[in-house]
A and B are shown apart, each in its own frame.
Chain A
């Protein structure tokens, strides 16, 4: 049956219609808008690989232009805009006149808005389009800031950071969660924090902070009172602090009386503040507030070591 339909050239319209079942609608639709002469130029075809010629034709022009733009970091927006603009406009009109079948919300107002906005929006279209690809092309982002990359299931992320097993999931019929942008903090966030000279430690929830400054402030708040009490006890009440208590400052920059250090998952003691916050949260196991004077004494001793926490 196919053989016969292809041979006859006499009635192109009918034969084209019956040649490929899926094609007929698209072709004739555009026909109506733009006349048969432009048929051949159209790239908007639903034909299977037979339609490749249209790509080859414009490939030549595009590849020439593309080579000029080619760099190690592909700029997707530019290349996608390259297809000749008549096609763009054809598509726009094509869409407006034939397919007034809006999705979900049907309103004529939307249609007219679209018609007006379409032309204006065309130039802005690809800048409005997601910039995720563009961004990653331009700069080397750390993997942690891209959703779902590297492609590891949440199970493995938990295990890899050495935490306890998987957190319980939300209730089954809970409201849809927004997909979080940073997913490398799956561990239980409560870590122990001890301070030199204070026998009782505290626990802090690292998830409730997102900067080192906030952590430092929280440490200050946690231990300020305890420190004052301790000092009082030690000095036997000679120095009467009254109600005012000293702020514990300079934890991060080494300028204060105390310095904040932490123990990571490998057991090494590290100074707080070197790595980005999210990385810190994923590697920290416990925190410690040391006297700054002790710090310099330690640095002369064994380097990264499994220093006993009980000084």
Chain B
């Protein structure tokens, strides 16, 4: 079939495939499709930067123009991954600088990006257009200055939630006057003041600017000026939203907003003075995304704002909204798809607002399109969860965080197993689940039985025994990422489901009961998994093997398991490459046996097996036993080679 279509035609057909999964599938059809596909792949997504090496990527895809990559595991957001663990972007950028001079897009998440990296990016790629750094760290505003100065065709600079060392706000002035191509600028994570005049001029000379997210230091009085320069904005993130209450400031702001006919998303709103909120009322009817998660606005003012946003699809808000506010939300925003409610005082022992499980129940009742929820609260009941599950079987993401660890159902004092069980049973399309509260092994049995489309699961302070983990690993067919902290899961479930781990992107377990011995065993048995023991107490072999490790991070990889940038608190299995070679040879021989033995069986069944071949059969049996014995003595590679050679050529 491959020769019936010329390559160009196939290439053209493949160009309609945008999803990476589809392209991966296509490349598995046959060798020629693999070749064609790899030459025309322009975008790549690497979910774990250590799953593959830059050399492998470059070798396979010579024509990349956009690279998206993720580094640290998700729990790094909550300080569970010690500093210095890894995920450095520099080696990738350096390798790609040689290979892809026409690279246009780099999107990194949870990686360490240094100023040198940024400078290299700015100087290596002549046509560089898009830089998105999500939750990255390690760079300063000097790095940003080099990007601004050298990337002549920069379209997107998005630093969402990255940790930037703010040396000065002058980097913005480094955008040359000739730079008019900016489409998106997100600097909301920066602390210090930027030169406002430079910012204003930049905005004024960027007619294509669609997204502008300012940082807190941009005062409200100046916001109107900026907005006036860019009425074509689709997404706006304000700076601090507070000022002395003055009618001229207000009217100027309201006028500026009313000119923005295409505004769809609003965010920012630090330090809100509620009296200024009505300035945005004119755009509310078009707003689909509202991020008020930094805004301390009382419930009544929130309700006034939200009830104007009939087309709201996404709302991020603090728990000041309270149950009453959520009820109002449920009544007015029927298109709501995603809701995130963050805690305003997560570390207080007592609730400071009246936000309970009832708020979530109301929203699940009133918003038929709700599919994604992140909800922080202080009490939950099985009854509420069951009601939510019945109301909204179309959940795709359900993340519930009850602030007190292991909090039981506050009405019945039972574990929340049945509640979460109802969620996974009713929501058949559930792809992501985060659980909290008091949970026994039963909830994991429900998950293993019902959550067949679950891709990511986050567990904390839950479960009673290894059966919990076993249910999840053996039952969840689509599981890709599993992250666990402070659960009594140990070696048994992990080792019994070792093969499952190769079908997943990664497994994170911290403060569980996984012993060092089990980690070693897992690493030895599964050569394509990297089992990283992350332990800050010193070398794990200075303690008994049955001692639990602090953290273990297991991920599949085709790169070397001894990554060069490992800090001194990370341990992986040492590899002897000649040992690996011996293993490969043995694997090949086993496959040969398989083929031969099956051939013999086939012959036997047909009754045509002569005696001579029966002898061969026994000989083969002997051979196989000896091979397996030989494999065991890892330390003695000479023995292995001797056995192989002797047996084979005897």
What is the interface of chain A, defined by CB distance below 8 A to chain B?
A: 1, 4-5, 8, 11, 13-14, 17-18, 21-22, 24-26, 28-29, 32, 43-49, 51-52, 54-55, 59, 62, 66, 70, 72-74, 76-77, 79-80, 82-83, 91-92, 95, 98-106, 110, 114, 117-118, 121-122, 124-126, 128-130, 132-133, 136-137, 140-144, 146-157, 159-162, 164-180, 183-184, 278-279, 282
Contact = CB atoms under 8 A, between A and B. Distances in A.
Interface of B: 75, 77-80, 82-84, 112, 114-115, 135, 137-140, 161, 163-166, 189-191, 215-217, 270, 293-294, 296, 318, 342-349, 376, 401, 403-406, 408, 413, 415, 434, 438, 440, 458, 460-461, 463-467, 470, 474, 485-488, 490-492, 495-500, 511-513, 515, 517, 520-521, 524-526, 533, 536, 539-541, 543-548, 550, 567, 569, 571-574, 590, 593-594, 597-598, 601-602, 605, 617, 620-621, 624-625, 628-629, 631-632, 634-635
Contact of A51 (B434, B491, B496, B601): B496
A148 B517 contact: no
B449 to A, nearest CB: 13
Nearest to B502: A22
Contact of A130 (B406, B491, B539, B548): B548
Contacts of A83: 492
Contact of A122 (B135, B491, B546): B546
A149 B405 contact: yes
A164 B166 CA distance: 13
B574 A104 contact: yes
> Considering residues B294, B544, B571, which has the most beta carbons from chain A within 10 angstroms of its beta carbon?
B544
B544 A150 contact: no
B80 A80 contact: no
Nearest to A4: B601
B189 A177 contact: no
Contacts of B77: 151, 153
B495 A160 contact: no
Contacts of B540: 103
8 contacts: A66-B464, A80-B490, A100-B634, A105-B539, A130-B513, A153-B78, A172-B115, A178-B536
Given A159-B270, A178-B536, A179-B82, A55 B496 contact: yes
A105 B573 CA distance: 11
A103 B343 contact: no
Contacts of A32: 629, 632
Contacts of A73: 406
Q: What are the 8 tightest A-B residue pairs by CB atom distance, in nearest-first order?
A: A76-B488, A148-B78, A121-B544, A176-B84, A129-B548, A125-B546, A172-B138, A144-B347
B150 to A, nearest CB: 20
A128 B542 CA distance: 13
A176 B347 contact: no
A160 to B, nearest CB: 5
Given A103-B573, A118-B545, A128-B544, A151 B594 contact: no
Given A143-B404, A147-B80, A153-B78, A100 B635 contact: yes
Contacts of B474: 48-49, 52
A168 B191 contact: yes
A93 to B, nearest CB: 11
Contacts of B78: 147-149, 151-153
Nearest to B163: A169
Contacts of A24: 590, 628
B515 A125 contact: yes
B496 A184 contact: no
Given A44-B495, A55-B496, A176-B82, A104 B488 contact: no
Contacts of A174: 83
Contacts of A142: 347, 349
Given A79-B465, A172-B115, A18 B594 contact: yes
B634 A101 contact: yes
Contact of A169 (B164, B348, B403, B408): B164
> Considering residues A92, A150, A179, which has the most beta carbons from chain B within 10 angstroms of its beta carbon?
A150
A160 B541 contact: no
Contacts of A156: 293-294, 342
A133 B547 contact: no
Contacts of A26: 525
Contacts of A92: 517, 545-546
Nearest to A120: B544
A114 B521 contact: no
A24 B590 CA distance: 10
B347 A125 contact: no
Nearest to A184: B347
B82 A162 contact: no
A150 B346 contact: yes
> Considering residues A44, A114, A156, which has the most beta carbons from chain B within 10 angstroms of its beta carbon?
A156
B291 to A, nearest CB: 12
Nearest to A104: B571
Given A18-B594, A55-B470, A125-B515, A179 B550 contact: no
B401 A151 contact: yes
Contacts of B465: 62, 66, 76, 79-80, 82
A152 B346 contact: yes
> Considering residues A11, A125, A142, which has the most beta carbons from chain B within 10 angstroms of its beta carbon?
A125
